[in-house]
Amino acid sequence: MSGEPPVNPTDPAGTASPAPAPAAPVEPSAPPVLPSSAARLADKPALNAMAGEDDVGWSRHLGLPFFFRHAMPATNARISFWLGMLIILLIAGLHLLLMPIKDSPLLVSLRKLLLLTGSQFISPQEGLQRLQDTYTIIALILGCIISPMLAVSSLVQERIAGTLEFLRLAPLSSTAIVLGKIFAPGQALLKFAALLLLLGAAAGIAGERSLDQECVAMLCIVCGITLLHGIAGLCSTLTLAMRGGAATSLFFFGAGLITTLPATTLREPLLSFCAHLSPFWAPVIYFWSPAIRGLEISSTWFGKSLLVPVFVLLTQGLLFFLLVHAAARKLEVPERPALPRPLWALAACWLIIVSIGAGMNSIHTVSPVGSVINLQGWDAAWKFCTLAGSLLLILALLDHPFHRDTLLTLECTRLQQRLSRPRLVWRGLTHACFILALALALAATILGMNRAAQTGRDLQPLMAILAVVTVLYFMFAVILEAVAVRFASFLIQGAFTLLIAGIFTTLVVLPAVRMLDAYGSWQLVAQYEEFKLRTKGLQVTRTSYQFNQILSSDGKLNEKFEPYYWEFDTLEDFEAHKKQYQDSPAAVYWHYHQGQALSYPLLFILSTFIVFWWRARNYRQLTEEVQKALSSA
């Protein structure tokens, strides 16, 4: 049969050893005369890489080979280098001219001749600080905007053109390719930015800025620039839509988040360490705010300011690793999730650690009785964990393994191999269960932090909210799976997911809103009733604004409040009623709107059932589709 061909005697197994020796030709009929150079080459060890096994790690291929692809012609490189140097000198010269040096007649006359102005700085120190600011701003523009943009453009263009496939044939890991591709295009700019930062730091130190603050600021800037390149790498491997335009937009969105979102924590002393994650905000914190705004920002993590650089380094390092790893995975197999589950779990763990670090930060407040309250850190921590955790969960949710093409392939192989299939109800639920586990872990952390923030606080409302949100995340994952099994088009998938997820969210949010509305109305009516009972027999004409609200123009109750009105004979009856319901919006809602209160959970259960039924139907259709394709083949 075709699969059993005769085996060459020189290689009986056809497999030989992993590092094969030169072999004899199969049919050595009249071999051509070897040219001398070729003969020499044939004797040489062919490939350096062949000598050492698996020497393709990050250290060896840290993008270096790819720099040649983007190298400028020598003349252009020389011109650019000297132009850059000239700009640096010009900026330095300009600042020198503006220095308040009066005993140099040459400087004064030059200043008047060129700038038609006097000195602009109060002291030489200020001049040097401004010089650093100028250098830093230029370095930030080059490193944070232009260089990552070049990286996106280069990687996307190579993917569109297909030249990246040739690189993938080389003995390089996808991670090495991504690393090379994100740093190669802007390497000249990055070197220039590094020089500017170094010169700026030197000027800053000469201008009496503190060395440790310079170091932390430089660390934040360098880490930030690196992270933005990581974002550029991931964005350019995620999509090629609109000939790379979508990747560019995605990059701007990601870069916007990473540069502006941390700044929102700047005014919150307990969380201000997060602001260090933005390369644009590090100089603000250390240089500009104290000088311009007179604002001293003292950041701590785990209660120690020394740990802030550690936080920056570890967080940015982890984020960069995750981004590059995700980009490499997407480059290798686009249908695969960007990150494996252990790495999502690692990200969640780091988020919890960061939150705990924020919780350990504290503001010491002396209570009226004199005791020191030391718990506000946890208050900030649980809020931070809620926001960042939601973002993490949404990203993990979207990074699902359900691609219609992959599922069809799996089904084909299953049917062909006659392999047993997991039961329909459990099939594909691992992702939803993983999301649920992440959500539960984060919810538990949030609850614990909330408890630590204020002992004695009633946790029940928060527990209820978190339970509902956790279930919602699980349902979103199931919906995403069901939609992905059914539709191939990304747009239709998105539209359907939004529609169904919207229905589910409405089924949770709407009763909550109605419950709170009912509770508010009940409270108002109760106050009115209490007022009436307490002022029974008295001549009282004054009514509050709220009471006027519940009464219509003819003095009768408004329709909205009518259901909650219950005329009590005695104040005692009223007190008993109030005591029963005053702390429980759910009880009020149940008492007055039993139909609605019952219908929303029923609708939720019904919708859940419909989603699971639809999901099972989609899987069945998928199987039928495969069976049809296999039988026709």
Residues near another protein (CB under 8 A):
1-8, 10-11, 14-18, 20, 22-28, 31-32, 34-35, 37-38, 40-42, 44, 46-50, 54, 56, 65-66, 68-69, 161-163, 165-173, 333, 404-405, 408-409, 412-413, 416-417, 625-626, 629-630, 633
Distance CA 446, CA 456 (A): 16
Q: Provide the minimum distance between the beta carbon of 633 and another protein in the complex, in angstroms, as a whole number.
A: 6
Whose Cβ is closer to another protein: residue 38's or residue 141's? 38
Distance CA 295, CA 286 (A): 10
The two structure tokens encoding residue 65:
């080979």
Q: List the Cα angle 507/511/516 in 5-degree steps.
A: 150
Which residue in 485, 505, 461, 462 sits closest to 607, CA to CA?
505
Q: Provide the minimum distance between the beta carbon of 28 and another protein in the complex, in angstroms, as a whole number.
A: 7
Please check whether residue 479 is in contact with residue 572, taking contact to mean a CB–CB distance below 8 angstroms: no
Whose Cβ is closer to another protein: residue 405's or residue 569's? 405
Q: Provide the minimum distance between the beta carbon of 386 and another protein in the complex, in angstroms, as a whole number.
A: 40
The two structure tokens encoding residue 8:
């060459």
Q: How far is CA 414 from the centre of its chain?
A: 36
Q: Provide the minimum distance between the beta carbon of 45 and another protein in the complex, in angstroms, as a whole number.
A: 8
Whose Cβ is closer to another protein: residue 484's or residue 526's? 484
Q: Provide the minimum distance between the beta carbon of 52 and another protein in the complex, in angstroms, as a whole number.
A: 9
- In angstroms, the Cα distances linking 422 to 248, 453, 623 are 41, 45, 13
Q: Provide the minimum distance between the beta carbon of 77 and another protein in the complex, in angstroms, as a whole number.
A: 14
Whose Cβ is closer to another protein: residue 36's or residue 455's? 36
Q: Provide the minimum distance between the beta carbon of 431 and another protein in the complex, in angstroms, as a whole number.
A: 20
Give per-residue burial for 450-462: e unless 16+ CB within 10 Å, then b: bebbeeeeeeeeb
- In angstroms, the Cα distances linking 554 to 40, 548, 550, 560 are 110, 11, 11, 15
Whose Cβ is closer to another protein: residue 35's or residue 456's? 35
Q: Provide the minimum distance between the beta carbon of 612 and another protein in the complex, in angstroms, as a whole number.
A: 25
Please count the other Cβ atoms lying within 10 Å of the Cβ belonging to residue 487: 17
User: Residue 216 is which amino acid?
Assistant: V
What phi-psi label fits residue 524: left (phi over 0), alpha (psi between -120 and 50 degrees) or beta?
alpha
Q: Provide the minimum distance between the beta carbon of 298 and another protein in the complex, in angstroms, as a whole number.
A: 49
Whose Cβ is closer to another protein: residue 49's or residue 603's? 49
CA atoms within 13 A on the CB side of 604: 18
Q: List the Cα angle 272/276/278 in 5-degree steps.
A: 120
Whose Cβ is closer to another protein: residue 157's or residue 506's? 157
Q: Provide the minimum distance between the beta carbon of 84 and another protein in the complex, in angstroms, as a whole number.
A: 23
Q: Provide the minimum distance between the beta carbon of 406 and another protein in the complex, in angstroms, as a whole number.
A: 9
Whose Cβ is closer to another protein: residue 72's or residue 363's? 72
The two structure tokens encoding residue 290:
């104290």
Whose Cβ is closer to another protein: residue 24's or residue 122's? 24
Whose Cβ is closer to another protein: residue 172's or residue 438's? 172
Please check whether residue 608 is in contact with residue 507, taking contact to mean a CB–CB distance below 8 angstroms: no
State residue 456 phi and psi, 5-degree precision.
90, -10
Q: Is 49 exposed, middle or buried (0-12, 13-18, 19+ CB in 10 A)?
A: middle
Q: Provide the minimum distance between the beta carbon of 1 and another protein in the complex, in angstroms, as a whole number.
A: 4
Distance CA 591, CA 588 (A): 5
Please check whether residue 450 is in contact with residue 382, taking contact to mean a CB–CB distance below 8 angstroms: yes
Please check whether residue 352 is in contact with residue 442, taking contact to mean a CB–CB distance below 8 angstroms: yes
Distance CA 163, CA 138 (A): 33
Q: Where are the strands (E) in 217-323, listed by range? A: none
The two structure tokens encoding residue 494:
């998105």
Whose Cβ is closer to another protein: residue 267's or residue 628's? 628
Whose Cβ is closer to another protein: residue 66's or residue 504's? 66
The two structure tokens encoding residue 153:
């453009």
